[in-house]
Structure 1
């Protein structure tokens, strides 16, 4: 675990430059706006270890998979969001010396991610080998107002010399993904062009033929006045730069403004991209850096008003939650139902930037409560639009009659995961998608979604589960064989409790929704019956039969749900008894040793208990938590938040706080030694859940919002806003009790500790603390 980020409520601060931490910081200080993202690489040259990363949403490549493609049903490629043209580059030379932080002496280095206003600032003093010293102050952001644009303010001040500064402000498209199979590069040049202060580079992806035009414009100021520089174009394949030289005096600040734009063929005609790019650059450059920055601050203010969580008395916890919320808001705007959320967002290349089940299980709750309803809805529509591909994926594996298996990893709906035990066996992802539909309708009350989109998806998923089980004559029950559950430290096991529980719930829920749609919109129902060739009586009866006769592993002596058949054949050794030198297991042990151990990567049985908490009494939850948590290594970023929520539910407040702190600072403190690969964006939504669903006990039941809050001993108080069915509510929990404010024009009734409280529009209600039961 690292501990070099300075504690601050609104800023992420790094003081001093350590090359060994650079790739971690490149992840932590990443910026984005939902359309594009940028790791915290340096504008100037850096010849040290780095992961250069610029990403444009939705632009991907089907990289040939190295393993498994010869197996029937196995995907032929692994889709990955591509490292796109580097637009931030500003090479600085003084004579024949190039500014390179790896080869010069660096002092007074400070990097600040201003989360309140949405920009990255960096300052340092560099001493070149000749002894010349420069002070640099750089500021940049990806605009959430002009989402195709980014802007840089790069200030250079000679400290002990007069001389000429030679500058190349460049766009470099000759880049590759770090995880490229066979070291292949994925971009080809369409054209490049430079005119005066402008430069444009248009690239096309191999195979997928996405076209991206990246453009930039520079402006130079000294003593607050523009400098009329003589611009020299520098052009080579997949590279274009605007070169110029300016004279600078000791103590005189030279400011370079660089405005950059990414536009793609996803949104415009490919042959019009250069002109579109010029138009956008004209617009943002006319505003100027300061106006763009002011608009950025105002737009972030609105986002924070929707989504902020205020924690009093614990700076580390406050910084952690705001960092997580900040990165979630940078990653996904919800404006485009063709886009989804990759586990690393725009901060790295691990997991390919593709969509996993994380979105449905972890991200949907955050966007439901903190953004307009359409944002979460678009995440579900993304899956609806890929239903045909989900049916195709299932057909490849031998399923029929419209059975749908959503992919573990995807960009366009096709399965593209390259590990067989995940691709074929980790099928619980299907259930997460059905659960997200249920969660969306439960929270928003938008039952029309079921008529328009949801029922088709639910029928396809239920058909899959009904074919994936088989009847066991030995058990006289239906069973589920050859599964990998959420605990990926076990493969090819039978009767995973979580998967079987989720499968039965999916079939029950699909049958329930069939009745709802038939009753609420008979015309639409009959259209769907014809479209899906759906026999209601026959199919729903079979789903109910499976659900009523499913085998669920359980140990009667311990009175716990067994993770799968034979789990207690393992030697049960608590994690606390492991040698610390063996952690993390996935970096220290062989896979064979991990598979034979009792250790659990992330919540598995407890993931099911979290989803269906209302079904189980506190004693049942506590028995399962007490058994499984001590053997869970939490080597998945998705694990601590689920444990925090369950610990809060059963009154283990210290455990809840411990897991909250771990999930909120997972990347800031590099808990799992993997932050350099990129941030854990989807688990960040789990951090929000830890506070709102865990400490505040929020859930929805019978169309009503319910809370059962407690105040962690380490905090003086916490508060947050949520929007529920169009009503904005503020919940504040402090030492006195629970304060609820209705900041909307309509009344609302909310249950606190299972007692209803009607809060009239514009008024407040106070509820005293109680012991959770």
Structure 2
């Protein structure tokens, strides 16, 4: 763990130069706006440890799969959201010496991420080897008010001597991905020039995404605009430079404004004009005016989604950091986009979509944003339905059965670890559960026709073919799977997977009945289109009634899978700390034979379907599995927090909250340098709203059953439910709800019904 990020309610602050942890800090200080984003890289040259990263939503490369030997059904590629044009770059020489903090003596250093206003600031004082001391202050923002643009301002002041300063600002297409399977560069430069603006046109290999970048530089000497003296064009770089004889105390400033547009959003032939129009729009205003617009855009965001905590600055900082990164990653304006596990903060996982979106992120957007945002997340999967059917057919499934991919950017499966690609099929259930979750929360039953039901039928067709009848058990079984706990592979009858399969079939049957009530004609048309018959529903009912679930009756628990109790059951707290995380210290063979659980598995099912189980059942399973769980997935602590809160284990709930909330800020799993855990950040929001506040939806009503951590004075948040906006505040001796809409709402508080009228307080 790392603990040098200073606790502050609205800022992420690094107050000391730590080159050995720079890649960790680069992840923490990433910024973006839903369309594009960037790691917290330095503008000036830096020869130390760094992972350069600048990313554009929807632009990817199909990196050829690298495996020892090929297996039928393996994806041919792993899709990656790739490192793109470097627009922030500056090359600075002072009396002939390049400014590079690795070669300097650094007297002061601070990086500060202003989450309230969406601005990344950095400052330092450093002495070069030639004795010149300089002070640098920089500010950078990816505009939330104009998401194809960004800007930065960089001030350099001479502190102890006169000096010749040469300042070069550039665009560079000389970029690569560290995780390239064959050390291949994914881009080719199509055009570059330095006429009206610095211009770089790049195209991805194979996928042929065209990206146009226009950069406007403004150089100042003591606030006086200075024209560039030289323009340089190389094969994959264009730059503008000035050379100034500056006196001690002088300040040199450069402002960079950029527009980055791609053929994913615009016609290829129009990219230059679109980028030019974007750039002109932001260059008509001063940098301070752009900052004010950024402030206003973030003020609107925070008004709907902020969570305020009194009495615990570390917890307050953490929840805001998680919410901030979620909004930087996904705005919901485009149904073609989704939420990558790393967002715009790193390369790991390719930056593409997993089941995390449906299982963890959807509730955050349902409760804090307009309903269209959550609907766009569902439509993303509907648009990929035919690809999901193709994915299933490659594995031998027929008749319109769909297997949604574990990893994707365009609907095709592109994950290439067999135990994940072929076996972690529970992801199909998360897609179905998202439809259920969306409808129960919004009341938008009309979503079933024409979108949701077609997806549910295709998923159910998969489950009906994936089971097989066991003569020995006289039950249907599901063999050869990997559950949410990826520290177990190729197991039989994973309880969560079997439970999810039966639920999907049952829910699809219910939705068929509901669709018949909504629009019988439309349903008949859909059935004709899909070649659907009553024989299928008969088989589904038989599977639901005869599916096998492993359990241990003596303990009163569900077994994670068949034969789980053959393992040596040693609690995780007895493991030496030097061996954690296990995935960085143990062989895979040792992990697979152990009892240790990477993330909530049985408990994931109890979280999703808690209404189906009594408290004693939930308690017994929690108390058996929690001690065996090592939480080496970012998705694990939030589920444990919510269940612990439900069981009244308030101290454990708070412990798990801090683990999920400060997972990246404190680097719990020693892997933040690879990028932030964006999708699990939604779990932080869940931990407070569903965990501490106990918010649920039962029978079309919101329920609350809150508690407050012992060291908090209060916490407050906004939620939207079926068109009604609510402000909820929980304090030591009070529970307050304000209805900020025009119509009343009925809800349940601690099992008692209440009606909250507009603008009234209960």
TM-score, with normalisation over the residues of structure 2?
0.99
Residue in 2 that maps onto 1:418: 416
Residue in 1 that maps onto 2:349: 351
Q: How does 1:66-81 map to 2 (within 5 A)?
A: 66-67=66-67, 70-81=70-81
Q: How does 1:37-436 map to 2 (within 5 A)?
A: 37-67=37-67, 70-195=70-195, 198-225=197-224, 227-436=225-434
User: Are 1:68 and 1:74, in contact at CA under 8 Å, matched by a contact in 2?
Assistant: no
User: Are 1:229 and 1:246, in contact at CA under 8 Å, matched by a contact in 2?
Assistant: no
Residue in 1 that maps onto 2:653: 656
Compute the displacement of 1:450 (Å): 0.8
Q: How does 1:15-26 map to 2 (within 5 A)?
A: 15-26=15-26
- DSSP 3-state at the match of 1:45: coil
User: Are 1:166 and 1:244, in contact at CA under 8 Å, matched by a contact in 2?
Assistant: yes
Residue in 1 that maps onto 2:443: 445
Tell me the distance in 2 between the aligned counterparts of 1:412 and 1:237.
31
Compute the displacement of 1:387 (Å): 0.2
Q: How does 1:601-616 map to 2 (within 5 A)?
A: 601-616=598-613
Q: How does 1:562-711 map to 2 (within 5 A)?
A: 562-711=559-708
Tell me the distance in 1 between the aligned counterparts of 2:215 and 2:595.
55
Q: How does 1:426-505 map to 2 (within 5 A)?
A: 426-505=424-503
> Which shows bigger deviation, 245-254 or 305-314?
245-254
Residue in 2 that maps onto 1:768: none
User: Are 2:192 and 2:201, in contact at CA under 8 Å, matched by a contact in 1?
Assistant: yes
1:10 and 2:7 correspond: no
- DSSP 3-state at the match of 1:384: helix
Tell me the distance in 2 between the aligned counterparts of 1:511 and 1:310.
42
Tell me the distance in 1 between the aligned counterparts of 2:125 and 2:10.
25
Compute the displacement of 1:69 (Å): 6.6
Residue in 2 that maps onto 1:729: 726
- DSSP 3-state at the match of 2:360: helix
User: Are 1:324 and 1:684, in contact at CA under 8 Å, matched by a contact in 2?
Assistant: yes
- DSSP 3-state at the match of 2:125: strand
Q: How does 1:517-596 map to 2 (within 5 A)?
A: 517-535=515-533, 537-596=534-593
- DSSP 3-state at the match of 1:109: strand
Tell me the distance in 2 between the aligned counterparts of 1:441 and 1:631.
35
Unaligned runs of 5+ in 1: 766-773
What is the CA deviation profile of residues 653-674 of structure 1, one whole-angstrom value per residue up to 9, with x for unaligned ones?
Answer: 0000000001000000000000
Compute the displacement of 1:53 (Å): 0.3
User: Are 2:219 and 2:228, in contact at CA under 8 Å, matched by a contact in 1?
Assistant: no
Residue in 2 that maps onto 1:771: none
Tell me the distance in 2 between the aligned counterparts of 1:322 and 1:43.
26
Aligned residue pairs: how many? 762
Compute the displacement of 1:249 (Å): 2.0
Compute the displacement of 1:275 (Å): 2.3
TM-score, with normalisation over the residues of structure 1?
0.98
User: Are 1:68 and 1:419, in contact at CA under 8 Å, matched by a contact in 2?
Assistant: no
Compute the displacement of 1:274 (Å): 1.9
- DSSP 3-state at the match of 1:764: coil
User: Are 2:106 and 2:125, in contact at CA under 8 Å, matched by a contact in 1?
Assistant: yes
Structure 1 runs (4+) deviating above 3 angstroms are: 222-225
Compute the displacement of 1:582 (Å): 1.0
Tell me the distance in 2 between the aligned counterparts of 1:93 and 1:504.
66
What is the CA deviation profile of residues 3-45 of structure 1, one whole-angstrom value per residue up to 9, with x for unaligned ones?
Answer: 0000100000001101111000000000000000100000000
Compute the displacement of 1:589 (Å): 0.2
Residue in 2 that maps onto 1:758: 755
- DSSP 3-state at the match of 1:287: coil
- DSSP 3-state at the match of 2:450: helix
What is the CA deviation profile of residues 620-669 of structure 1, one whole-angstrom value per residue up to 9, with x for unaligned ones?
Answer: 00000000000000000000000000000000000000000010000000
Compute the displacement of 1:423 (Å): 0.2
Tell me the distance in 2 between the aligned counterparts of 1:605 and 1:499.
9
Compute the displacement of 1:580 (Å): 1.3
Tell me the distance in 1 between the aligned counterparts of 2:256 and 2:573.
52
Unaligned runs of 5+ in 2: none
Compute the displacement of 1:130 (Å): 0.3
- DSSP 3-state at the match of 1:175: coil
- DSSP 3-state at the match of 1:92: strand
1:740 and 2:737 correspond: yes
User: Are 1:10 and 1:116, in contact at CA under 8 Å, matched by a contact in 2?
Assistant: yes
Tell me the distance in 1 between the aligned counterparts of 2:624 and 2:170.
57
Compute the displacement of 1:223 (Å): 3.6
Compute the displacement of 1:164 (Å): 2.8
Tell me the distance in 2 between the aligned counterparts of 1:277 and 1:233.
20
Compute the displacement of 1:243 (Å): 1.7
User: Are 1:73 and 1:396, in contact at CA under 8 Å, matched by a contact in 2?
Assistant: yes
Residue in 1 that maps onto 2:715: 718
Compute the displacement of 1:248 (Å): 2.4
Tell me the distance in 2 between the aligned counterparts of 1:398 and 1:539.
18
> Which shows bigger deviation, 234-243 or 677-686?
234-243
- DSSP 3-state at the match of 1:58: coil
Compute the displacement of 1:544 (Å): 1.1
RMSD of aligned Cα (Å)? 0.9
Tell me the distance in 1 between the aligned counterparts of 2:253 and 2:475.
73
Tell me the distance in 1 between the aligned counterparts of 2:236 and 2:517.
59
